[in-house]
Structure 1
């Protein structure tokens, strides 16, 4: 039964990633998505937050809170992996700028592909991470659907408007399936890690990542919200690829999964709190 649930969760993650990125492309123009990339200062803050401050913060948490090596490796992999399609849903929940969240993904996904295979073996010498194994699934499930949606929106705007809402509904349903199937497939492990206290370092890293991103987001409320959520929602798909590829101990993968569930538990309430604030115009062109 556990194997069936794990397979369902894997398929749901694939459907969620493709449909969420496709829906963003169908609903926004290339100018809205790519325009903010001209802001060099904002790009630098996003890169520093995700690839310098969050990994350093995670290492600090692990220095204070000792975990077994396989579990610590899983948490480090999460800290080194940025850019996740769940950011789109979190941004929608927070009623913030979805186009800006897609911009952040366009920045963070390729950066993770380049950064993680170089840094992971230096931080975790026992790891063996391939650039190709990491890059291909991220490209096919996230960047390619976004590009397809942008193309349809630019060439055939009327069908794009019709197809966008169904794609969003499918992505929402897939997200529910991901959370339920992943939780049920790993319930005994989750309980064990709760008892051992291993869940607390994961929550600390996620909370700290949100604070770092939010503080570096600048004066604009949308930018603060998107960078806070985007920095705290780590790329679990990339971390899972590296954990299964480069580590023999299954506990490393388990820690990645548990950290993803901790992220769901923490970040959706945070997005709801942010949602209660007065909404501001979103989706502005760059």
Structure 2
């Protein structure tokens, strides 16, 4: 009973976090600041390569060296093939890097995941049934739509947007704390079991490797390296969860998705904290 309550609280926290995070970015930045970097075709290609080619290949290679039960492997593969998570906004803020660039990356990766996952995942996991519609609707409603609403407010009512931005950031922080606590408490037995079996190691390796891949492909600009590193490491757990519940019967698949999300929190926020200690980044770009 308590686990069901905690799971419900965690699901609501995910929704609140996604919406308020994207709203806060929209309130704080202009359309030009968000969409401007998309003109850099080389950076776009590197981001797509990192997230949809190299990280999935990394996950498959790790699972070849460290095999798990098939349902657990399926969960990790789903995570590796799902990019564009709203948590990137908070990670970027913690690292004191360029938040507008993290939103740009999300605008690129979210639609790409909706197109990519239903095509590629059945080739790697023939037992999977993945619907593009089931992926697109929650991503649109919880991430892209709030971002668009915030950008509209920034353009039409800039004074109001400036007042609302810190409020939205505060709510996103509270929602993140609730999410981590509720998810951890609801899954303590499962997490303990994964640690006992050593099954938590592959997710940690995928996350760490994703950061290295993104950082190395980020180009010469430090902001771009940090954002792409964090954005490539932080996978889209919401999309992976949708696919795990929709396309797989084994509960262990969802369990691995949840465990990987917790491993991401445990690993990436300290990394963002280390990045925060270097010299402050330059003012956000405007073109």
Corresponding residue number in structure 2 for 1:99: 100
Partner of 1:121: 122
The match for 1:189 is 190
| CA RMSD in angstroms, aligned pairs only | 0.4
Question: CA contact under 8 A between 1:233 and 1:263: conserved in structure 2?
Answer: yes
Aligned runs of 1:1-286 on 2, under 5 Å?
Answer: 1-286=2-287
Matched residue SS, 1:282: coil
| Equivalent residue pairs, number | 286
Q: Distance in 2 between matches of 1:194 and 1:156?
A: 50
Could you tell me whether the CA contact under 8 Å between 2:98 and 2:281 is conserved in 1? no
Partner SS, residue 96 of structure 1: coil
SS in 2 for 1:284: coil
Report the more deviating stretch, 13-22 or 273-282.
273-282
Q: Secondary structure at the match of 1:57?
A: helix
List per-residue Cα deviations over 1:192-249 (Å, max 9, x = no partner): 0000000000000000000000000011100000000000000000000000000000
Query: Partners of 1:102 and 1:134 in 2: how far apart?
Result: 19
- Give 3-state SS (helix, strand or coil) of 1:37's partner: helix
Q: Deviations over 1:163-198 (max 9, x none)?
A: 110000000000000000000000000000000000
Shift of the alpha carbon at 1:281? 1.1
Distance in 1 (alpha carbons) for counterparts of 2:263 and 2:275: 19
Shift of 1:282: 3.3
In structure 1, runs of 5+ residues without a counterpart are none
Do the aligned partners of 2:59 and 2:206 also contact (CA within 8 Å) in 1?
yes
Shift of 1:160: 0.3
| Runs of 4+, deviation exceeding 6 Å | none
Give distance in 2, aligned partners of 1:29 and 1:254: 38
Instruction: Please state how far the C-alpha of 1:280 moved relative to its aligned partner.
Output: 2.0
Contact 1:98 1:282 in 2 (8 A): no
**Gaps in structure 2 of 5+ consecutive residues:** none
Structure 2-normalised TM-score? 0.99
Q: Deviation per CA, 1:6-40, whole angstroms, max 9, x where unpaired?
A: 00000000000000000000000000000000000
Q: Distance in 2 between matches of 1:115 and 1:25?
A: 26
Alpha-carbon separation, structure 2, partners of 1:285 and 1:126 = 46
TM-score by length of 1: 1.00
**Alpha-carbon separation, structure 2, partners of 1:93 and 1:180:** 19
Q: Is the 8 A contact 1:78 1:239 kept in 2?
A: yes
The answer to whether the 8 Å contact 1:222/1:282 transfers is no
Equivalent-residue separation in structure 2 for 1:283 and 1:242 (angstroms)? 35
1: distance between equivalents of 2:177 and 2:62? Answer: 30
